A and B are shown apart, each in its own frame.
Chain A
Amino acid sequence: MSETKTYTVSIYTENNVGLLNRISAIFQRRKINIESLNTSISEIEGVSKFTIVINLTEERVKKVIGQLEKQVEVIKAYYHTDEETIFLETCLFKIKSDLLFEERQIQNIIKESSARIVTVNKEFFVLEKAGRRSEIDLLYRELSAFGIMQFTRSGRISVSKEEMKISSMLAEFAE
């Protein structure tokens, strides 16, 4: 049995209603927990991209990729280890504005974490931080001590170091 690892699955698809359901059903049926999921446009016009993070053995990831590619509206699916991708998550903290002025340490935390202040008003300010999960977790721990009014973290987004040959595949189809 090979070991469980974190894999980023990138799925290039047509942009159709219901496809999210079809894709998530493939994971659900095999009782695979989706750690994070992001949908966006891709580098190709009219082609969507799902970025899904799962913890699985490589053997099982390969089978899941096969099932994903089998779907009529999936153009191509890839899987990568963390080492093979550039990836990050982004998050937003909503914090009481008073703290920004009263607690000196908060300013240091913001500076050291390279977080960015998105907006400030009388009641609250919003802090945005993009980076690895561990960096976001650290910032979360540090800010919790002062009280967080709201927190949201996005799913992982990633680009692969190797080429994902979608454009050439689509060009081949057009011929």
Chain B
Amino acid sequence: MDTIQTIKLQDTAVEATQRLTGKEAIIKCLLAEGVDTLYGYPGGAIMPVYDELYKYQDKLHHVLTRHEQGATHAAQGYARVSGRVGVAIATSGPGATNLITGIADAQIDSTPMVCITGQVASHLLGSDAFQETDIIGISTPVTKWNYQITKASEIPEVMAKAFYIAKSGRPGPVLIDITKDAQFEEFDFAYKKCKAVRSYKPVPKLNPDSVKAAADLINNAEKPMIVWGQGVILGGAEEEFKAVIEKSGIPAAWTILGVSAIPTAHPLNVGMVGMHGNYGPNVLTNECDVLIAIGMRFDDRVTGNLETYAKQAKVIHFEIDPAEVNKNVDADVAVLGNSKETLAALLPLLEEKQHTAWHNRFKELYQIEYDKIIKDDITPEKEGLTMGEVLEGINKVSKGEAVIVSDVGQHQMIACRYAKFNKSKSNVTSGGLGTMGFALPAAIGAKMGAPERPVVAIIGDGGYQMTIQELGTIFQTKVPVKIVVLNNDFLGMVRQWQQLFFDRRYASTEMVNPDFVAIAKGYYIEAQRVSKREDLAGAIEEMLAAEGPYFLEVKVEKEDNVFPMIPTGASVSDIRLE
């Protein structure tokens, strides 16, 4: 009901002028932007806004996280599954600085987020007042935009701009810092949605010549390959993308943030590229004659050594952010624009093709990878449990319908390699920044952003303990997230590197862990531990069938490694299978 009302409010564009305080104006702005949930933590400099949140609790659901970092990750999880702007709110000083990790994560993973921070009163700025910190200065390099409000009259325009900038073009985080006196000040409030900022061009103009040039290269290619990224999802271009690959018959591989744009079972999906991606797409990156990158940014974890990356191929780059073109890999043809528009323009120019022989190369290499790695990962015969079989077990019960939220490390690579997805926006993970501690709070936000879907957090024993306090948030809100900790009593990915590149000197990677089940139970969350294969399937079923939140610890093999692997500095085609 609230949503319908706010949409009406948006459509009328300008609301009649009202005499309001800054604090109430902030709430009105959030409602006008269609915000229904926000994540945060109160404190001195933001208390006036919290006082208003109290009055508006029927319209705005404020989720009290146990740490401000958790608020940002929850807002990110919410944004990633819903496609809406996530909102986090905190006080000045330490409250604000605690947001930084999540903001940096949202910046590098292009997640739309608005963070609101309280600030000391404007006459105290620069006086080293209690809980004063220069959050504008601190957050500048990791925000798409930021602004400090010192007068209540600035609130409507700045808030409207914040939401517009966070969401439009290549999305990203925006931080708005509001002094305490501005929160109390009265002014004549009227809200108008922001539709443009003169110095900001969120979407480059589509150039039909570039689309034509791309189509010519694609139509004449013998061994074309697509690598798609999150740009397909962020552009809402899933249908256009599917139509493009189906018509052109081109094998399509994904980056870690691109997965789930099409169902994983799609016959043209050839798997993941990058450091722990699939064998076929990595090796064949250096064999294809045309490489078509769509909404991805050639991250170093994707390309390996740039000097030997796809040098034989013509490169076509579909991209919304002009700064990404030729940043890491030179493009022969750059098609700038929103993926939904560029792919729609490309589709009619494409010839129908099959590329059967070329597809068979991917199949051959998949078979090699299956025999050497996948089989033992997902259907192991050894005694110890593998992370892969846990994922496979979840796939069997969820049937690809779950949102999978992963943290950072070995379990993340395994989750992204083996999770099956039917729907878009189903894989939530910290890709660019690699933030351990991301998953537990992000899962809270994901479940609230997609309440109709099962949400399963896959977390390692290391990352889990970085934001374990968010169990309190789960307990208090009763948000029914499913938490799976794959416990190998190690910081597994670092240990793997120590084994492979540092002669097994396991410097500070062994973890002496607490009783995770007891901790979950301490928060009154249903919990169990599995260490035997025969108990695994039943436990997963019980977890997914549970109505409320559920914690499942799986004791996995201590020293398993994730393969394939492209060692740092190696070429994608030198990917190791062991």
Contact = CB atoms under 8 A, between A and B. Distances in A.
A72 B198 contact: no
Interface string B304-323: 00000000000000000111
B165 interface: yes
Interface string B194-221: 0011111000000000000000000000
B136 interface: yes
Contacts of B196: 173
B140 A18 contact: yes
A18 B140 CA distance: 8
B569 interface: no
B506 interface: no
Contacts of B137: 18, 21
B323 A66 contact: yes
Contact of B200 (A25, A62, A66, A72): A72
Contacts of B183: none
A69 B323 CA distance: 8
Nearest to A18: B136
Nearest to A22: B140
Interface stretch (B17-25, B141-149, B440-448, B458-466): B141-149
B322 A69 contact: yes
B323 A67 contact: yes
Most buried by A among B148, B165, B197, B198: B198
A1 B136 CA distance: 37
Contacts of B148: 17-18
Nearest to B136: A18
A167 to B, nearest CB: 12
Contacts of B165: 72
A103 to B, nearest CB: 47
B327 A66 contact: yes
B140 A75 contact: no
B205 to A, nearest CB: 10
A51 interface: no
Interface size class of B (residues with CB under 8 A): 20 to 34
Contacts of A14: 198-199
A72 B199 contact: yes
B12 interface: no
Nearest to B324: A66
Contact of B144 (A25, A69, A72, A174): A72
Contacts of A73: 145, 199-200
B158 to A, nearest CB: 11
Majority DSSP secondary structure for residues of A touching B: helix
Nearest to B196: A173
Contact of B322 (A17, A21, A25, A66): A66
A141 interface: no
B198 A25 contact: no
Contacts of A62: 326
Contact of B197 (A29, A66, A72): A72
Interface in A1-31: 13-14, 17-18, 21-22, 25, 29
A18 B146 contact: yes
Given A66-B323, A66-B327, A173-B198, A72 B141 contact: no
Contact of A170 (B197, B198, B321): B198
B556 to A, nearest CB: 38
Contacts of A25: 140-141
Contacts of A174: 198
A63 B297 CA distance: 14
A136 interface: no
B199 A75 contact: yes
Nearest to A63: B327
A14 B199 CA distance: 7
Contacts of B146: 18
Contacts of A63: 323, 326-327
A29 B141 contact: yes
Nearest to B202: A72
B401 to A, nearest CB: 37
A45 to B, nearest CB: 13
Contact of A70 (B136, B198, B323): B323
Contacts of A21: 136-137, 140
Contacts of A22: 140-141
A63 to B, nearest CB: 6
A67 B327 CA distance: 10
A52 interface: no
A29 B552 CA distance: 42
A61 interface: no
A116 to B, nearest CB: 38
A21 B199 CA distance: 17
Interface in A122-175: 170, 173-174
10 contacts: A14-B198, A18-B148, A21-B137, A22-B140, A69-B322, A70-B322, A72-B200, A73-B145, A73-B199, A73-B200
Of all A-B residue pairs in the complex, the 3 with the closest CB atoms, nearest first, are A66-B323, A75-B199, A72-B145
Interface of A: 13-14, 17-18, 21-22, 25, 29, 62-63, 66-67, 69-70, 72-75, 170, 173-174
Given A25-B140, A73-B199, 16 more contacts: A14-B199, A17-B148, A18-B140, A18-B148, A22-B140, A22-B141, A29-B141, A63-B326, A67-B323, A69-B322, A69-B323, A70-B322, A72-B197, A72-B199, A73-B200, A173-B198
